[in-house]
Amino acid sequence: MPDDPHKTGADRKFISLEQPHEVRSWTESLGVTEQQLRAAVAAVGNSADKVREYLRRAS
């Protein structure tokens, strides 16, 4: 079942690369490209906190 694009909360703790609206939302929120987002998730998993930390260190 697809995520509701209007939900927040626990849904924002994890990054889903399966949903186009989530990819768009996360790239805008984090200020990165889709490729950078996918690389970060591949490197550290889908925890939003871990991805933020990874991207901070990468910049």
pLDDT digits (tens, 9 = 90+) for 6-46: 555 557 899 999 999 999 999 999 999 999 999 999 999 99
Partnered with residue 4 across adjacent β-strands are none
Closest CA to 15 of 59, 53, 45: 45
pTM for the model stands at: 0.82
